[in-house]
Amino acid sequence: MSVLSGKNILLGITAGIAAYKTASLVRLFVKSGAHVKVVMTPASKEFITPLTLSTLSKNPVHSSFTNEENDVWNNHVDLGLWADIFIIAPATANTLSKMAHGGSDNLLLATYLSAKCPVYFAPAMDLDMYKHESTTSSFEKLQSFGNIMIPATSGELASGLVGEGRMAEPEDIISFIEADILGKLPLNGKKVLITAGPTHEAIDPVRFIGNHSSGKMGFEIAKAAANLGAEVVLISGPTHEKVVHNFIKVIPVTSADEMYQEVHKYFNNVAIAILSAAVADFKPKEVALQKIKKKSDTLTLELERTKDILASLGAIKKQQFLVGFALETNNELENAKQKLKKKNLNLIVLNSLQDKGAGFKGDTNKVTFIDNKNNITEFQLKSKTEVAEDLLNEILKQIHA
């Protein structure tokens, strides 16, 4: 999944011959999972039709302050605020000059002045125009505003000259924006280990000891970390949860022993480890090789402790930020504090089965964060997606404190 997935991208098109490339650019944005809207200068419609772009973007294309069919106002403020990313490509010398000096004589420029999101511009013009001092001054001024320039490339230009001024290719524009976004994400370049779901401890080839964990909380944490730029290793017990993300590697396991082995394989190379899995505390001491038959009204199983994965990591951790989870039914806060200290954690996430909407299977959770300085932060009931975001924000706050 691209870092652009789910983003609202507003593409501004100006009157340059490179406008023909925007059909491919729209398709690539849509393919990346983004929502795309297009705003054009009136003159740009001489180079590519709004029909083509509306068909590819699956949204109406705007080029004037009012809708030509019914005189409804096209609200440039709404367009600017809708966008997560505004990319102007091609950006002509004329439009760049107006942007640099606050001109707003068309819908695209008015929208630019209303935008609160990151703005990228991809210049496209002939060699002499690209090198002219007025144009380089526009580049410098726009970048001083915080706008991000996607440099033009060298090549054959519409005039027949060869040199700088050729708009970057659509694939390169996508790559540039993705790399720029990733480079600014707080977990870019960091590896994060996450465990999720239950473990199943075999009794015989048919039966097992397990619990009701769905794995949803761990999967949401993995997505939240990946969306912040982390390279995520997600080790999950049996679950119906699925995730498709370029930055998440899912390793399926079944038993506590398997999870222990996989966690220790990756732990030394991660910056953050978040163990949200509901690992079985006990397993059958002997596993029957054949299905156990019903020979009497009772069955006695001898159980033994599974390896304590969280404690084993706490004992060997160095620079890693280690997070555990505590699901309690009584004396919640004290039990969580003891677990935090005993297992040498940086942070523990407490939830209680006494809280309605918390715990296994559901889409919500009610948690309390306790750190190793005894700071306690209690949250109201939230979606597990929001809980995951809160957790990553807390970790980042503590790492950078």
pLDDT band with cut points at 50, 70 and 90 for residue 359: low
pLDDT at 77: 83
From the candidates 211, 335, 344, 372, give the one annotated as an active-site residue: 211
> Comparing 88 with 353, which gets the higher pLDDT?
88
pLDDT band with cut points at 50, 70 and 90 for residue 306: very high
Average pLDDT on 3-22 reads 94
Domains along the chain? 8-184 (3.40.50.1950), 191-292+299-399 (3.40.50.10300)
d(CA 124, CA 339) in angstroms, rounded, equals 60
Write out 329-394 in H/E/C secondary structure.
CCCHHHHHHHHHHHCCCCEEEEEECCCCCCCCCCCEECEEEEECCCCEEECCCEEHHHHHHHHHHH
Query: What is the gyration radius of the CA atoms in the chain, in angstroms?
Result: 28
pLDDT at 70: 60
pLDDT at 68: 62
pLDDT at 361: 67
pLDDT at 71: 65
pLDDT band with cut points at 50, 70 and 90 for residue 250: very high
Instruction: Encode pLDDT of 261-272 as tens digits.
Output: 999 999 999 999
With CA atoms as reference, report the closest residue to 199 among 273, 272, 256. 256
**Dihedral of the CA atoms 58, 61, 67, 68 (nearest 10)?**
-110
Sheet bearing 272-275, strands edge to edge: 248-252, 231-236, 191-196, 272-275, 321-328, 347-352, 367-371, 376-378
pLDDT at 288: 92
With CA atoms as reference, report the closest residue to 145 among 184, 174, 181, 112. 112
How far is CA 128 from each of CA 17, 43, 76, 186, rounded to the nearest angstrom?
16, 22, 33, 40
Give 72's Cβ-side CA count (13 Å radius). Answer: 5
Given a cut of 90, whether residue 1 has pLDDT beyond it is: no
In this structure, of 44-48, 222-226, 274-278, 299-303, the range with the lowest mean pLDDT score is: 299-303
Instruction: Encode pLDDT of 313-350 as tens digits.
Output: 999 999 999 999 998 878 889 999 999 999 999 999 99
Instruction: Encode pLDDT of 109-149 as tens digits.
Output: 999 999 999 999 999 998 889 999 999 999 999 999 999 99
With CA atoms as reference, report the closest residue to 269 among 323, 216, 317, 212. 317
Provide the total of helices (H) and of strands (E) in the chain, helices listed first.
13, 22
284: β partners: 303
Average pLDDT, the chain: 92
Instruction: Encode pLDDT of 61-94 as tens digits.
Output: 998 877 766 666 677 888 889 999 999 999 999 9
pLDDT at 37: 97
DSSP assignment, residue 307?
P
d(CA 383, CA 390) in angstroms, rounded, equals 11
Read off the pTM: 0.83
pLDDT at 158: 73
pLDDT at 362: 77
Average pLDDT on 23-44 reads 96
Given a cut of 90, whether residue 395 has pLDDT beyond it is: yes
pLDDT exceeding 70 applies to what percent of the chain?
A: 96
Answer yes or no: 211 catalytic: yes
pLDDT at 165: 81
Instruction: Encode pLDDT of 155-212 as tens digits.
Output: 777 767 677 888 999 999 999 999 999 999 999 999 999 999 999 999 999 999 999 8
